Amino acid sequence: MSTTSPTPAAAPANAPAETPCTQPASAMLSVRALLQRSGFTLDVDAALPLAGVTALFGRSGCGKTSLLRVIAGLDRAAGAEVRFGDAVWQYGRHFVPLHRRRIGLVFQEHSLLPHLGVRDNLLYGYRRTPPAERRLHLQEVVDMLGIGELLARSIDTLSGGQRQRVSLGRALLTSPRLMLLDEPLSALDTATKREIMPFLSRLAAEAGVPIVMVSHAPDEVERLADRVVFMHAGRIERIETLRQALARADSPLFADAGAVSVLEGLPGAAGPHGLRAFGPEGARLWLSASGTLAGEEQAGGRSTSQPPTDETHAPPRRLQRLRILARDVSLALDDPTRISIQNHLRVTIERIDTHAPGRALVSCRMADGQLLLAEVTPWSVAQLGLAPGQQVYALIKSVALLG
């Protein structure tokens, strides 16, 4: 059951996704395939925009890797059609093999050549790419991935995260038209994942190469994806922008860890109290100054580049993502004063979903138009008289804001 504001300020939760037909075919990756295996059928017919990061998301065994392999041409599904923009990769008897599709492939386990050092691994595909087609070169890829100090090392001396960065670099140096990543983080521990994520998030933005990435981890999708392809039992259930996927209470992304909001904003410098501003006036949050935001690392972060704020050599400020668990957000009718929680935002309730027994998900619109989800009890909804259209205060512990 849900209660909704009569005039929602943004796209409703069930709005159609980034409608493929509004994009020219030359900017789409389209796949139509029927692949039969014993006990499993992949049956897909979809068109994906060739921009940013597209996540294939779903439970283990739903067919994410199978779809990726059809796109790559690693599996030749009879009768399948695969088109990359204006290029036809598979149609009828026409079939372009993987090495002619100009795809950068990175799998869960790195696939580096153990007898070559880091530099030669990086240059392996580069040297085989015709000079006229080389768009990315060693130094820029090394700088982007922060692997300059590793160039002289042998592969067996690298950590898992370093190997995965070199694998990404090697794939990028073939100047691919498309990167296909199959759970590139799942073999890594949490600390190493945090080390790699910022690099992944910069790939599509800075290298200008669209990425299709398999993942079954909601936090990876929330940090990296621009759109999500939800798969179930060999089929595509829906394709949504990340924003749309996070705006519905029944999002599969919320199935395990609960609802989350992903906010985008510009982080400010660390302030005097160990806190750091994030986002514009009116929707400003204060974060603990330590820690790394989603998509951030020492040289900057993901997405939209902003011009430097002055003539010094300050790195450009970039939009960063912040992940906030809905259960870490409380609501109050008045702005509390004597309270340790630093973040009090005036928000407007847009929708209340009583999606799960004993829990209510309150979708709140912030002053900058972004959606903030709060999970409270139905008892609190009744006691406070919460309703769509009402202005309330969202209270967020600053410690809950780290990505």
Q: Whose Cβ is closer to ligand ATP: residue 58's or residue 295's? A: 58
Q: Does 65 bind ligand ATP (CB under 6 A)?
A: yes
Is the Cβ of residue 34 or residue 270 nearer to ligand ATP in the bound state?
Answer: 34
Residue 66 interacts with ligand ATP (CB under 6 A): yes or no: yes
Q: Shortest approach of ligand ATP to residue 61 CB, angstroms?
A: 4
CB of 308 closer than 8 Å to CB of 210: no
Asked if 252 and 88 count as a contact pair (C-beta separation under 8 A), the reply is no
Site for ligand ATP in 213-272 (CB under 6 A): 214, 216
Could you report how far apart the first and last alpha carbons of the chain are, in Å? 30
* Dist. CA 168–CA 102, nearest whole Å: 14
In three-state form (DSSP H/G/I as H, E/B as E, the rest C), the secondary structure along 38-68 is CCEEEEEEEEEECCCEEEEECCCCCCHHHHH
Residue 76 as a binder of ligand ATP (CB under 6 A): the answer is no
Q: Which amino acid is at 318?
A: R
Helix/strand number for the chain, H first, E second? 8, 22
CB of 337 to ligand ATP, least distance (A): 49
Q: Rounded to the nearest whole angstrom, what is the least distance from the CB of residue 60 to ligand ATP in the complex? A: 3
Question: Do 122 and 169 meet the contact criterion of CB atoms below 8 Å apart?
Answer: yes
Footprint on residues 276-295 left by ligand ATP (CB under 6 A): none
CA gap 147, 132 in Å, rounded: 25
Q: Which stretch binds ligand ATP (CB under 6 A): 53-61, 95-103, 146-154, 379-387?
A: 53-61
Of 33, 47, 53, 62, the one binding ligand ATP by CB under 6 A: 62
- 229 sits in which H/E element: strand 227-232
The bridge status of strand 28-37 relative to strand 40-49 is antiparallel
Closest distance to ligand ATP from the beta carbon of 236 (Å)? 12
- Separation CA 247–CA 245 (nearest Å): 6
Q: Choose one: 21-29, 58-66, 97-105, 122-130; the region binding ligand ATP (CB under 6 A).
A: 58-66
Stretch touching ligand ATP by CB under 6 A, among 62-70, 203-211, 258-266, 317-325: 62-70
Our finding on whether 78 is near ligand ATP (CB under 6 A) is no
- The answer to whether 331 touches 374, Cβ cutoff 8 Å, is yes
Show the beta-strand stretches assigned E in 85-184: 87-91, 94-95, 103-106, 178-182
Question: Strand 235-241 and strand 227-232: pairing?
Answer: antiparallel
Are 357 and 11 spatial neighbours (Cβ–Cβ below 8 Å)? Answer: no
Check residue 35 for interaction with ligand ATP (CB under 6 A): no
Among 19, 26, 36, 37, interactor with ligand ATP by CB under 6 A? 37
Q: What is the contact mask toward ligand ATP in residues 182 to 221, using x (rule: CB under 6 A)? A: --------------------------------x-x-----
Q: Which of 68/285 has CB closer to ligand ATP?
A: 68
User: Would you give the distance in Å from CA 62 to the centre of its chain?
Assistant: 20
Quick one: which of 7, 22, 60, 312 contacts ligand ATP (CB under 6 A)?
60
Residues that bind ligand ATP (CB under 6 A): 37, 40, 58, 60-66, 214, 216
